[in-house]
Structure 1
Amino acid sequence: MNAEQRARVEANRKKALERLRKRGILKDAELQHIEKRNEPAKEAPNITLNEQAHDKVVTEHHSIVTESQAAPPTSASKTLPVPHESQANEESKKRPLERIRPSIRTKDYIEYDFSTMKNLNGGYINPEDRLTGFDEEDVVGSKRQKTLDEWKKEQQERKYLYENAPPPEHISQAPKCTECNINIEMDPVLDDVFKIRVCKSCVKKLPEKYSLLTKTECKEDYFLTEPELNDEAIFHRLEKPNPHSGTFARMQLFVRCEVEEFAFKKWGGEQGLDAEWHRREEGKAQRREKKYQKEMLKMRMKTRAQEYTTRIREKRHGKTHTHNFSNPIEGGIDEDGHKLLRRRCTECGLETEEVAI
């Protein structure tokens, strides 16, 4: 590289640095550091290979002597090797623009960088989410991802808890169904959640007594309030995920016999509940009639206002004129060669032209 090429490269480098400074990518302190780093290094005096080897041996011997005279380093403080000035200069020559940040970032024009993406297998089998060092007893009910064996173990424990409970010492001591007094195998949901000892066959036979109601049905059919339904001392409840969306509030189910018992006590029996239903239906009908009469009054007032406005306009400007045109007469030919017909109002004199096709 001759002197002219070096001067051209140096001028281009300065222009690039000035452009980066104007953009705000580099500051003055960084520019000064780059200028100092790019300054030509001082030429070292010519030294033969023998002299270099001799200086290296002398330097190593001197460092060994100083380390032996110094105190032994402790575990808390350890000396680190200091790089030589010549090595630093050589590294600076190899990477003169190391501190310059790029003016264009990849995220400005790359929307999806596939090189940085990871395969999460749809979010279901991500090995990074699995916890390590857990106890075997804490597998059931944990929120971490479960293997197939862990899931089978949890299902077996749930089955043992609800269906395969240990039998009593004697069959006569086993609790029986309160409806048929025969079966000893109770419905797991009613027995565990609602504390009602009823077998599955009786639950199917008596849906009007042991069916499950939602909170909305309890409010609309039995006229119970939100605080009453939220009181755990009054009702037992079974919570399930909302069937409409997983992000909605959890669905709460109540057994019909408990709801009816409380509602009859509140409204005074079945007749009192029917009387309350009739009272509310009459109130709905009265509100609908009141709303209808209110809308009719608005419509009448609007019609009267329009009629009053029309009368005032007719009084000021007269009634709306209706043209009474005469018979058509020939009016010549237009630019396209079509025959024209003219008509004139006999009252106001308005003329119109018609094209005879």
Structure 2
Amino acid sequence: MNAEQKARIEANRRRALEKLKSRGIIRDDQAKKIESRNSLRLKRPLEQTPLPDSAIAENRAKAMRLYTHHQQNLRDASLGANPSVELDRATSHKRPLDKIRPTVRKQDYIEYDLATMKNSHGGFINVDDQPNTENGNQNQSFEDWKKAQRERRALYEDTEPPEHPSLAPRCTECEINTELDPLLHDVFKLQVCKACVKGHPEKFSLLTKTECKEDYFLTDPELNDTALFHRFEKPNPHSGTFARMQLFVRCQVEAFAYQKWGGEEGLDGEWQKREEGKAQRREKKYKEKMKEMRIKTRAQEYTKKLLDRKHGKEHVHEFSAAIDGGVNEEGLHILKRRCIGCGLETQEIML
């Protein structure tokens, strides 16, 4: 860097300080401190003496030790404090530690892994989770990310507290707890606490659309009617390209099914009726297959009779006793047999 470039940089720096002071962003004492630091920096020599090779090698070795220690801390944090799974420090250099991974997929149950979180100097934010960043997910647009966040917060959005604890909504099942299950309250409009949801799965468990059709004999138009049922949609666990999975609460589906089929006895009668229909259809299909097989067998027998009438029955050879046939060209002793019906002769070699 020559003298002209240094002067231009210094002039630009002074103009920037003047603009900051004129706008009131910094005070005069702060501007003086900045100018003093810049003057000290300019007085330092720009070119330093190169380090010897021994110092460079020592710095590299120290950096490698720090990096190895940091990687070991990350592995210990991911494996946990269980001594049965901790790595042996004495023999750790004999194995490729970079290829060792935990057998459990942590991303299935850990949302924020502190062992792998990076300090971005703006709060501990995992940069890899941010959309449309240099290290983020390039396939997800910002609108898709915002939609996913809205769907995630929709179930757990905080509501205003009641004016008095006695006015808080209570669980309709136990009539004691006021801490309601957010999913059933916000989506299915049911005032049920988490303990009752866990203790009464026969009433508050979630059913898929297929289970509603198979167990309660409901149709697709009935399940697709938003006026009849509340539903909770989530991504299909089998594949992301499949249609979104719809979940229904059992008590609402059961109440509608009882109303449709005439109570529990009517639902059981419909199940028995459908099972009998399935058995009848299986029996009918079996009879049709048997009839088809009999027709095919009779056709084969009729075809065989026609062939016998046209060409006669198939001849079966009846050979006589073996007689001496002498010696062949290779000097082996042979035996001869003759069919009594058609006169076909065969030769057998005696070994």
TM over 0.5: yes
Q: How does 1:194-273 map to 2 (within 5 A)?
A: 194-273=188-267
- Residue aligned with 1:234, SS: coil
Q: Distance in 2 between matches of 1:169 and 1:335?
A: 121
1:157-181: CA deviation from partner (whole Å, max 9, x where unpaired): 939x727544211100000000000
- CA displacement at 1:342 relative to structure 2: 1.9
Equivalence for 2:292 = 298
Q: 1:246 to 1:336 in 2, by over 3 A?
A: farther
Equivalence for 1:127 = 134
Q: Check conservation: 1:129, 1:145, Cα contact below 8 A.
A: no
Q: Kindly provide the amino acid, as one letter, of the partner of residue 158 in structure 1.
A: R
Structure 1 unaligned regions, length at least 5: 1-120, 132-140
Q: Distance in 2 between matches of 1:265 and 1:356?
A: 90
Q: Distance in 1 between matches of 2:244 and 2:329?
A: 79
Equivalence for 2:311 = 317
Q: Check conservation: 1:130, 1:144, Cα contact below 8 A.
A: no
- Residue aligned with 1:272, SS: helix
Equivalence for 1:80 = none
**Structure with bigger gyration radius:** 1
Number of matched pairs: 219
Q: Kindly provide the amino acid, as one letter, of the partner of residue 345 in structure 2.
A: E
- If the length of structure 2 is used for normalisation, what is the TM-score? 0.57
Q: Distance in 1 between matches of 2:287 and 2:210?
A: 31
Q: 2:153 is matched with which residue: 142, 151, 158?
A: 158
1:172-225: CA deviation from partner (whole Å, max 9, x where unpaired): 000000000000001111011101010000001110000000000000111100
1:271-326: CA deviation from partner (whole Å, max 9, x where unpaired): 11111111111111111111111111111111111111111222222222111101
1:21-78: CA deviation from partner (whole Å, max 9, x where unpaired): xxxxxxxxxxxxxxxxxxxxxxxxxxxxxxxxxxxxxxxxxxxxxxxxxxxxxxxxxx
Q: 1:335 to 1:186 in 2, by over 3 A?
A: farther
- CA displacement at 1:333 relative to structure 2: 4.3
- CA displacement at 1:340 relative to structure 2: 2.7
Q: Distance in 1 between matches of 2:287 and 2:153?
A: 61
Equivalence for 1:103 = none
Q: Check conservation: 2:131, 2:145, Cα contact below 8 A.
A: no
Q: Distance in 1 between matches of 2:330 and 2:194?
A: 92
Q: Distance in 2 between matches of 1:348 and 1:337?
A: 29
- Which structure exhibits the higher relative contact order, with contacts defined as CA atoms closer than 8 Å and separated by 6 or more residues? 1
Q: Distance in 1 between matches of 2:133 and 2:336?
A: 87
Equivalence for 2:268 = 274
Equivalence for 1:184 = 178
- Residue aligned with 1:162, SS: coil
Q: 1:274 to 1:130 in 2, by over 3 A?
A: closer
- More deviation, 253-262/306-315: 306-315
- CA displacement at 1:332 relative to structure 2: 4.2
Q: Kindly provide the amino acid, as one letter, of the partner of residue 143 in structure 1.
A: D
Equivalence for 1:356 = 350
Q: Distance in 2 between matches of 1:144 and 1:213?
A: 28
Structure 2 unaligned regions, length at least 5: 1-127
1:100-158: CA deviation from partner (whole Å, max 9, x where unpaired): xxxxxxxxxxxxxxxxxxxxx9x987539899xxxxxxxxx843599xxxx9xx69x93
Q: Check conservation: 1:194, 1:236, Cα contact below 8 A.
A: yes
Q: 2:324 is matched with which residue: 314, 324, 330?
A: 330
- If the length of structure 1 is used for normalisation, what is the TM-score? 0.56
Equivalence for 1:13 = none
Q: Check conservation: 2:320, 2:337, Cα contact below 8 A.
A: yes
- Residue aligned with 1:190, SS: helix
Q: Kindly provide the amino acid, as one letter, of the partner of residue 173 in structure 1.
A: L
Q: 1:338 to 1:219 in 2, by over 3 A?
A: farther
- Residue aligned with 1:236, SS: coil
Q: Kindly provide the amino acid, as one letter, of the partner of residue 284 in structure 1.
A: K
- CA displacement at 1:328 relative to structure 2: 1.8
Percent of aligned positions that are identical: 63
